[in-house]
Amino acid sequence: MLSAPLLDRTGTTWDVVIVGSGPAGSATAITLAKYGQRVLLVEKRGSSSFKLGESLSPASIGLVRHFLGDLESPEQQLPGLFKTAGNISLWGTGQAEITDFFFTSTGHGLCVNRLAFDETLRTKAAAAGATLLRDVRLQSCARIESGHFNWQLTLTSRTGARQDRARYLVDCSGRQAVVARLLGVPTLHHGDRLFAYAQWFSCSGGDDDRYTRIEAAPHGWWYSNRLPGSEDNETRRLVVLHTDKDLPAARLAASRQGFDQLLDGSTHIARLLKAREYHPCGIIRGAPAHSQRLRDFCGDAWMAVGDAAQAYDPLSSQGIDKALRTASHAGHMIHYALTDPSQGAPKLDYRNSYIHRYDQEQRQLWQTYLSQRDFYYGIQSRWFDQLFWQRRRRLANEAS
């Protein structure tokens, strides 16, 4: 059920409390609530003002359908989805490579408006039986031994505080990893300082381009896609530069003039914007995009899921897919750990076979990700004299 933050109550008990209601948090809540677990989903924001769009390959569409249902159904209110035809990339060489989705099982990919997509997932979580609290923060978590409960939680908002108890605690708070930080679990950074600088563009004319575009550049790489929906009958497009935050290009990208200067040096994206008479709208937004992971993915009666556990370079195109896939696995493993009688008195740390299985999967995913990241950066053979690419080659050499 959906609940407002009534913070004058105390002593509320839950099977699982999930901190963060992005795709990972909502999908974990959906999975657990469908099993009948009492789930509290805590979201620190009352509402979000922006999130970068994201592209999904055809292989991820079945996963989205699993959580959201039939995407073609007229009953579905999904304004945050836009069908894409494929990818156009200028990467290893200056020659464009086209990946067409026409011959895949779905025939298309998806571009996702994250604000609408995330809100739809929250609605699904509430419909499945989870309780959602907005504009509420996890202030503290203390271990207790009180019957079946392992955690005493303090949740705060602008109107007060409340105390809740939980059997299990899940960190889905993204790169901030709020629960892990409170528990003293360090975040490990893996060799890059990647940062995303995003500018939205609009045009009054049409834009029939349905390809996700990726283009390597001397100081990083560009991403662009049309966005779902429109405002004031204008077509919207997102353009993002990914570069290391300490490089001169990052300082340029943070300003409108500098961003335009860098964009003019692109091969295909600048040409597309000019051909469709796009103009910039809104301010340039920034977001961290480097590779990071927690030292420990789970522990005694807690687990991290999605970007809280491990966050990837956007070049991997695995953000939402990873969030939904690992959330499904986490939800199942937590439910089994809490209910399987073969485990005896439930041990909710590494001794539990289900928790151990989740931990092992996370470790394998991380190693696979690093190998793929280093491979794709390694096949970009231009600009040997540029520090951005020198750093990527050094990372690949250190891993080999």
Say how far residue 227 (Cα) sits from the centre of its chain: 17
Residues 98-110 pLDDT 10s: 999 999 989 999 8
Measured between alpha carbons, how far is residue 154 from residues 143, 151, 207 in Å? 12, 10, 49
At residue 397, the pLDDT reads: 80
Q: How far is CA 64 from the centre of its chain?
A: 14
How far is Cα 130 from Cα 37, in angstroms, rounded to an integer? Answer: 8
**Is 3.40.50.1820 the CATH classification of the domain at 80-111+193-288?**
no
132 phi/psi in degrees, rounded to 5: -110, 125
Supply the pLDDT for residue 343: 56
Of the candidates 254, 237, 236, the residue with the CA atom closest to the CA atom of residue 245: 254
Residue 345 has pLDDT above 80, yes or no: no
Neighbours of 231 (CB within 10 A): 10
Domain with CATH 3.30.9.100 in the chain: 80-111+193-288
116 confidence band (pLDDT: 50, 70, 90):
confident
Q: Stretch 35-41: mean pLDDT, rounded?
A: 97
Question: What's residue 3's pLDDT?
Answer: 46
The answer on pLDDT for 233 being more than 80 is no
pLDDT at 255 over 60: yes
Report d(CA 185, CA 333) in Å as an integer: 21
What pLDDT is attached to residue 228? 75
Q: Which two tokens stand for residue 348?
A: 């909710």
Where are the CATH 3.50.50.60 domain residues in the chain?
10-50+118-190+296-377
Q: Domain 10-50+118-190+296-377, CATH 3.40.190.10 — does that match?
A: no
Mean per-residue pLDDT for 16-30?
97
| Rounded Cα distance, 308 and 187, in Å | 9
Share above pLDDT 90 across residues of the chain, in percent, rounded to a whole number = 71
- Look at strands 234-244 and 194-203 and give their pairing: antiparallel
Give the residue among 94, 388, 101 at the shortest CA–CA distance from 268. 94
131 Cβ contact partners less than 8 Å away, ≥ 6 residues apart:
1, 2, 3, 39, 40, 41
pLDDT at 2: 42
Q: Which of 46-50, 118-122, 293-297, 396-400 has the lowest mean pLDDT?
A: 46-50
Question: 77-86, 301-310, 313-322: which range is least confident on average?
Answer: 77-86
Q: What angle do CA 149, 305, 316 make, to 5 degrees?
A: 180
pLDDT > 90? residue 231: no
* Alpha-carbon separation of residue 287 from 33, 324, 386 (angstroms): 32, 21, 23
Of 45-49, 152-156, 310-314, the range with the lowest mean pLDDT is 45-49
Nearest one of 28, 33, 48, 31 to 2, comparing CA atoms: 33
- Four-residue CA torsion sign, 200, 206, 212, 215: negative
pLDDT given at position 148 = 80
Is residue 290 predicted with pLDDT exceeding 70?
yes
Confidence at residue 69, expressed as pLDDT on a 0 to 100 scale: 86
Phi, psi of 213 (to 5 degrees): -115, 130
Kindly give the interhelix angle for 353-378 and 387-399, rounded to the nearest 10 degrees. Answer: 130
Span of 8-12, 54-58, 155-159, 236-240 with lowest mean pLDDT: 8-12
Q: What does the pLDDT average to over 222-243?
A: 85
- Sequence-distant (≥ 6) Cβ neighbours of residue 163 within 8 angstroms: 10, 11, 12, 152, 153, 154, 155
Q: What is the pLDDT of residues 164-206, one digit of tens each?
A: 999 999 999 999 999 999 999 999 998 789 999 999 999 988 7
Q: What is the mean pLDDT of residues 214-222?
A: 97
Q: What is the average per-residue pLDDT within 248-263?
A: 97
